[in-house]
Amino acid sequence: MKGWNLVLISLLLFSIFFITSCGEKTECTSSSECLTGNPCLLGRCKDGKCVTNVKPDCCPNANCEEDAGENKCMCPQDCGKCEGKVTYTVETYRGPKEVEAKYAEYRCENNKCIVGVDPAIVNTPSYRSDIDIRGGFQAEIVTTLNQPFDTSKDKINIRLKLKNIDSDVVDGVTFTNIQVLSVNELIGEKDINYKLINVGDMFEEELDISLAQTMVESEKDLSFNYDYTYTAIERSEQVVYRAALKDRLTKLMIIVP
């Protein structure tokens, strides 16, 4: 009887050893068997098992490490992609409403995620105006700007050409300032100093504009003020005239701040 007990005990111990050995199957014998395929996830063999360590400041390692310079443009795998239309909130009579911009979108420029406009949809119209200052001069103004207009990088190009000048005007017309307005809001200004004396004389300038509001995109009615001065002979005396001529664009401009 004791002999049978010893046999049973031996069989039980052997079974336990066999089951335990099967449960501890070896995964690896060297770290070369634990390659992850990701340079930021380092695999190594430890006690017969593959363990993975995350390499810091590395892309992609499933962590967006801004302090290491990672962002949506430098490492989209960790930080998400810099893409899609911008959304913003407007107030309606029913309360706040989320609106998707028509033109403003997230774009990568100089490895930074910014709000901008796809260059493929931008056109650059020019608007021509004839100005007649009675008793003084006539001028042609050509205003060129991108549509939509991105205030972060675009500029308004203005060319003013003297078409005619009154015989009583002495020593030409001097332009001293240009202002860009949206209704009564001053959104751009530049001091200049151009003297146009002869027919055909002209000047060309570029202006930046900026908006006080924070709306992602808006339609604006733009107008321009040009300060000028000239001297004319009246009744044998020289009279100095200082005034501003106004020019207004014929179309609303789409502006992306």
> What domain range is 113 assigned to?
71-117
The answer to the question of residue 178 being in a domain is yes
So what's the pLDDT on residue 94?
87
Are 224 and 246 in a shared domain?
yes
Structure tokens given for 200: 């055909």
| 46-80: burial string, b at 16+ Cβ within 10 Å, e else | eeeeeeeeeeeebbbbebbbeeeebbbbbbbebbe
Q: Which residues pair with 116 in a beta bridge?
A: 105
pLDDT top residue among 23 and 56: 56
pLDDT band for position 23 (50/70/90)?
low
The answer to the question of residue 181 being in a domain is yes
pLDDT band for position 170 (50/70/90)?
very high
The answer to the question of residue 17 being in a domain is no
Note the Cα 247 to chain centre separation in Å.
29
Q: Does the pLDDT of residue 22 top 60, yes or no?
A: no
Structure tokens given for 215: 């709306």
pLDDT band for position 176 (50/70/90)?
very high
Are 243 and 164 in a shared domain?
yes
Amino acid sitting at position 186 = L
Are 54 and 167 in a shared domain?
no
Total domains, the chain: 3
pLDDT digits (tens, 9 = 90+) for 184-233: 999 999 999 999 999 999 999 999 999 876 678 889 999 999 999 999 99
So what's the pLDDT on residue 214?
64
Are 167 and 104 in a shared domain?
no
Look over the chain and give the mean of its residue pLDDT values, rounded to a whole number: 88
Share above pLDDT 90 across residues of the chain, in percent, rounded to a whole number: 59
Mean pLDDT, rounded, for 93-118: 91
Are 100 and 151 in a shared domain?
no
Q: Does the pLDDT of residue 50 top 60, yes or no?
A: yes
Query: How far apart are alpha carbons 204 and 185 in whole angstroms?
Result: 24
The answer to the question of residue 65 being in a domain is yes
Are 100 and 147 in a shared domain?
no
pLDDT top residue among 85 and 43: 85
The answer to the question of residue 93 being in a domain is yes
What's the predicted TM-score (pTM) here? 0.73
